[in-house]
Structure 1
Amino acid sequence: MVMRLFCCLLLLCAMPSFAATKLEASVDKNPVLAGEFFMLNISVNDTVNGEQPDTSVLLKDFVVGPTSLSTRTNIINGSINKQTTWSVKLMTRTEGQYTIPSFSVAGLSSEPIDLTVAKRAVNADKNNDIFVKTSLSSSSLYVQEAGVYTLKLYLAKELLDGSLSTPSMEDAQLTQLGKQTESYELVDGKRYLVITREYLIQPQKSGAYTIAAPVFQGRVQQNYRQLEVSALGDDLEIEIKPIPSDYKGAWLPSELVNLDEEWQPNDSTVEVGTPITRTITLTALGVTKEQLPDITMPTIEGIRSYPDQKENNNAVRNGRVVSQQTASYALLPQKPGTYTLPEIKLPWFNTKINRISYATIAERTITVTPNSSSVNTPINAPQNMNDLPLDEANTESNSAGKPMAQTATVINQSPLWLIGVAILGYVLWIITVIFYWFNRSNINTVENVQPSPTSLNQPSLKKLIKVHKTGDIKAFYNELTHYAIQVTREETGAIDKLCQSINNPQLNNAIIQLQAQLYGNKATNSDLGAIIKILESEQTQSSKLQPTVLKDLYN
């Protein structure tokens, strides 16, 4: 047992002890060309887990590519060597002298590296198999004015894989517009695959800025070989102008702003209750859809307005950002008359002439006429003398002199019993006339009492209930209009007057929801059953009150 322990101790002592003792940094090229990728390798002579060098310090002077990690173990004549290496792709945009700083791993530090970057020849990319072109819609923009940055990558070889970085600019937002497109172009007799990307630039501060060009790196296929390639576009200078100090109002810089409207129906004369759709379109060049101000519709007394949801969109046309806002309104005239919709005026800053301009929609006058489909109660003429009131029948009889004379002649020729019957009839007629005049005074007293719209003479709600069961809200509204006209005896604004006479907030809200559902283009659910219940309740209360009133009049 002792011998075994002794052998184990000997083996442990014979095993070499490994510890990181050296950290080195090196580059595969020095000097390098501006716009050319080179490799930075950082190696330590041990296996290191959970640690890696901090390469963020390189971002100040270099374009930093992805970092790869590799480990290696060599055993030669019983001697074991381990190595851990981090490889980083780097590139500089401009020529000059640079210093790659030292790095620290596992308590060790590397030595800094002096790097020389030479200027790239002007014709270095001429007839090259891969190159990048960049362009701007305008070399001068105002603060928050939208510009378009266009990037084109030209490839003459078959692309296996690659990555294209995003252009960058201080104090600005750069956003890619849509997806990249692919096409083919012939350049100096050579066919290229062209990958195009467009970026929206929105500067936030004024001053002179540089847009750093994107960098491409990838692999292409050439004669059964895979080659690593890279390309760098040209940096572009841009001037950002400040907001003029004398400008007032919401800032909207643009080359062109336009307001337009459409009407449906496009008539200047409409009837009460006829819905009108007004669509206002705002178009602006050189701004984003988020910068478009909201267009509001002024309130017009006598016309209800139901706004629809607004739609904002933007697109790129001929290297310019075009944004558009569409807003629709449903207008519902409530009363007849002449209405003037005021002018809509939108201020904006014209970047072409460098001064404030206005986009306008002229005022518009519309005439609202009474509803031609109003329900009028026909007055039927009496068919015979028995339908006339007693005084009118008496007047009619007295005005016919000749028939009375003929009647007298007939009586003189009649028997005595017939004369007695005539005398009795005459007496009864006199009694009837006296009774009629007595009752007429009581009837006039009843007529002097102002009846409410909800009385026993109300039209039936059967048709309204029947339409409600069909679920047709348009037919329900039309029938409700006819009902209101019959109750109020008003041809215009009958529904509003019916609501005023009943004075029920629930009925008012229910009818407003019904009109919004019909003309507002919104997902509004109106309670038709509530409208019927309120009207039935009003009729029931009226029927209970009416006998009491009549009883008091005749007592």
Structure 2
Amino acid sequence: MRPIKHGLVALNKINTGTSMHVHQVGFRQIKAATLGILLLSLLCWVPSAFAETNVRASVDRQQISSEETFTLSLVADSILFSGEPDVSALEKDFHIINRQQSSRTNIINGKVNSSRQWDYTLAPKREGTLTIPAIPMGKFQTRALTISVDKANRQTRGANGDSVYLESDVTPRSAYVQAELQYTVKIFTSINFLDASLEAPEVENAVVEATGEQRYQTLVDGRYYQVIERRYSIYPQTSGELSIPALTLQARVEGYRPSMLDPGRLVVKRSQEHHLNIKPPPAEFKGAVWLPAKKLALAESWSKDPDGIQIGDSITRTVNIQAKGLLGSQLPALPTYTLSKAKLYPDQAKIEQGDEQSEWSGVRSESVAIIPTVAGELVLPEVRIPWWNTTTNKAEVAVLPERRITVAPGMLNNVNSTPLNTSNSAPNQSLASNLAENTPATTSSAEQTTANTRLWMVIAALCLSNIGFALAWLRSRNGAINANNSVSVKPENESEAAAFSKLKKCVQANADASSLRGALVNWGQCYYQQALSLSQLGARAKELEHYCQALDAQLFAGRDAKIDAKALLDAVKKLRATKQPKNAASAPLAPLYPST
């Protein structure tokens, strides 16, 4: 039995040894895995801890009011980061008021540590819990921070000693789309500013125009304040809710302990926000263009008295649309019209914007040059502009009444309408017969004799004056009176040739439009042997009509009409070659500009 017992003992020893070996192997595996996890965790933790240690972000205050500022500080190891932080993400919720940069070097136990620091003075753009996002700095980035922004206590202003505060107001509280809103912001300060800036309002879906600034003093609860008042006109372009954001004042004032090295302390104040209801145009307005204004009127002016205008004269009419409460760019163009008895040359419209001291905030001026071509009456049509009165809340119509102008034939046309006779007896006989017809018959022979005597005295005087005029005219022409009492006139083709020569010289010398126009009119009058305006010449000679219109447009309408002078001269040459002028003896009038 011993061997067996011994064998059992031996077996037990073997089994026991195997069990101990298994336990030893399992413990080693667990220990290796644990060490691996710890090492991996350490590797993951080291960069994070390293980044937090070497790239840091901090704030000096975590709870502020909407009118206060705080400082964000960014610190980085100079070895790890040598650039500039990208802080553009801050501008979503904060105004960056100021930026400063500094460097620091520490030597501890012979070890040198160098770091850079960036300090940003920030002012919140709104109330609530705001997030300062992670700021990238090279391969690293800071952790995000949160700031609590409370509503400013406005009850402490003025009466309770605020040295600086803002007030803003807008009127009216409800308005029509495109109608004027008057926005006013006031800066109250009882201390001097070393430096200050106030942003201009930026309103979504609206046009904003600065209208003026005023400075004055006021007394608020026994304390004097300097007031800077700025005014704006806001024109909403869409209906619905309109939001006018708060404006931010950034001012630097003297520190509590002023000194030469003290840059002063920063003060940031914000105005109120405003929310308004903008109404669409009312259904009862029937005009083609929506014009909401406090006042709107039409007015006209003339370059000279239109009552004395004659054929061929140029006169300029200017019509103004004037509005209070609208921009000049909002005013519409005037209705167009044509005249059968005149040519019209419109000029480019002028837009003017008045200041708050002006009677009108916007003016649109349209001018047109008018050149009558026919004697008689010109009728300028009535002008009507519908608009909406925002003061009375009613539709109105501005009216410029119809204008009638009498156009006289003019001196040239009067002379042209009466042929010049070389015989002195014909006009005298005609005049005598006319006077005789207009002399009332009487039964008294004495009265008739007296009348006849006066009549012959008048006839004699007219004969003498007519003879004197004829002699003077003949002397100026270097002519002579022949035996038949007929006038020897210089051949008309010589005068036309001289006028054509002048026109040709104008073209060759590249003369201006005014000189070219005068030479062309002079030639036309010599060629046709009668007084003509430029427009009449164009109507008579179709070959020249285009050039006459271009000259009129350039001279009277202020347009840059391009005139091909050489082509004009060719057209005149062609006209001279194909159409001979009338004989001078049959011409009713001598040339307007005779050659000597």
CA contact (8 A) 2:496 2:527 kept: no
* Equivalent position amino acid for 1:302 in 2: K
1:524-543 pair list within 5 angstroms: 524=561, 534-535=571-572, 537-542=574-579
Change (3 A) 1:382 1:515: same
Residue among 349, 364, 377 paired with 2:388: 349
Other-structure match for 1:128: 162
CA contact (8 A) 1:456 1:543 kept: no
Task: Give 1:280 shift.
Answer: 0.6
1:234-253 pair list within 5 angstroms: 234-244=272-282, 247=285, 249-253=288-292
Please identify, of 467-476 and 111-120, the stretch whose mean Cα deviation from structure 2 is larger: 467-476
1:65 aligns with 2:120: no
Cα deviation code 1:103-161 (max 9, x no counterpart)? 55433441533525264141234453322232324322322233332333334433322
Q: Hey, what's the Cα distance between the residues in 2 that align with 1:166 and 1:320?
A: 25
Residue-pair matches, total: 453
1:508 aligns with 2:555: no
Cα deviation code 1:188-243 (max 9, x no counterpart)? 46665544443342323322333222112232236445232222222233222223
Cα deviation code 1:486-543 (max 9, x no counterpart)? 655777x765554444331xx2222122222332234557567765664455334446
Residue among 228, 231, 236 paired with 2:266: 228
Other-structure match for 1:76: 108
CA contact (8 A) 1:289 1:314 kept: yes
CA contact (8 A) 1:510 1:526 kept: yes
1:381 aligns with 2:388: no
CA contact (8 A) 1:205 1:240 kept: yes
Q: Hey, what's the Cα distance between the residues in 2 that align with 1:116 and 1:349?
A: 45
CA contact (8 A) 1:20 1:44 kept: no
Change (3 A) 1:485 1:328: same
* Equivalent position amino acid for 1:27 in 2: V
Q: Hey, what's the Cα distance between the residues in 2 that align with 1:475 and 1:353?
A: 56
Other-structure match for 1:441: none
1:110 aligns with 2:105: no
**Unmatched 5+ stretches in structure 2:** 1-46, 426-490, 584-596
1:36 aligns with 2:75: no
Other-structure match for 1:216: 249
Change (3 A) 1:350 1:271: same
Q: TM-score, normalised by structure 2?
A: 0.65
Task: Give 1:39 shift.
Answer: 1.9
* Equivalent position amino acid for 1:135 in 2: D
CA contact (8 A) 1:34 1:117 kept: yes
1:371 aligns with 2:405: no
SS class of match (1:56):
helix
CA contact (8 A) 2:306 2:315 kept: no
Residue among 456, 462, 465 paired with 2:498: 462
CA contact (8 A) 2:213 2:231 kept: no
Q: Hey, what's the Cα distance between the residues in 2 that align with 1:116 and 1:513?
A: 70
SS class of match (1:539):
helix
Q: Hey, what's the Cα distance between the residues in 2 that align with 1:498 and 1:145?
A: 52
1:40-189 pair list within 5 angstroms: 40-45=72-77, 47-50=80-83, 52-54=85-87, 56=89, 59-60=92-93, 62-92=94-124, 96-98=128-130, 100-103=132-135, 105=137, 106-113=139-146, 115=148, 117=150, 119-126=152-159, 127-177=161-211, 181=213, 183-188=215-220
SS class of match (1:373):
helix
SS class of match (2:309):
strand
Q: Hey, what's the Cα distance between the residues in 1 that align with 2:167 and 2:149?
A: 26
Percent identity over the alignment is 26
Cα deviation code 1:261-308 (max 9, x no counterpart)? 112333345211111210111111222222222224411122111122
CA contact (8 A) 1:34 1:120 kept: no
Q: Hey, what's the Cα distance between the residues in 1 that align with 2:249 and 2:391?
A: 36
Change (3 A) 1:321 1:133: farther
Q: Hey, what's the Cα distance between the residues in 1 that align with 2:247 and 2:84?
A: 31
Task: Give 1:334 shift.
Answer: 0.8
SS class of match (1:460):
helix
Q: Which structure's residues are more often helix, by fraction?
A: 2
Q: Hey, what's the Cα distance between the residues in 2 that align with 1:140 and 1:262?
A: 37
Q: Hey, what's the Cα distance between the residues in 2 that align with 1:160 and 1:186?
A: 21
Q: Hey, what's the Cα distance between the residues in 1 that align with 2:181 and 2:525?
A: 60
SS class of match (1:290):
helix
Task: Give 1:325 shift.
Answer: 1.3
Q: Hey, what's the Cα distance between the residues in 1 that align with 2:71 and 2:577?
A: 94
Task: Give 1:330 shift.
Answer: 1.0
Change (3 A) 1:519 1:83: same
* Equivalent position amino acid for 1:366 in 2: I
Q: Hey, what's the Cα distance between the residues in 2 that align with 1:200 and 1:525?
A: 43
Task: Give 1:331 shift.
Answer: 0.3
* Equivalent position amino acid for 1:309 in 2: Q
Larger relative contact order (Cα-Cα within 8 Å, sequence gap ≥ 6): 1
Q: TM-score, normalised by structure 1?
A: 0.69
Change (3 A) 1:55 1:527: closer
Task: Give 1:100 shift.
Answer: 4.5
Task: Give 1:92 shift.
Answer: 3.9
Question: Root-mean-square deviation (CA), in Å?
Answer: 4.0
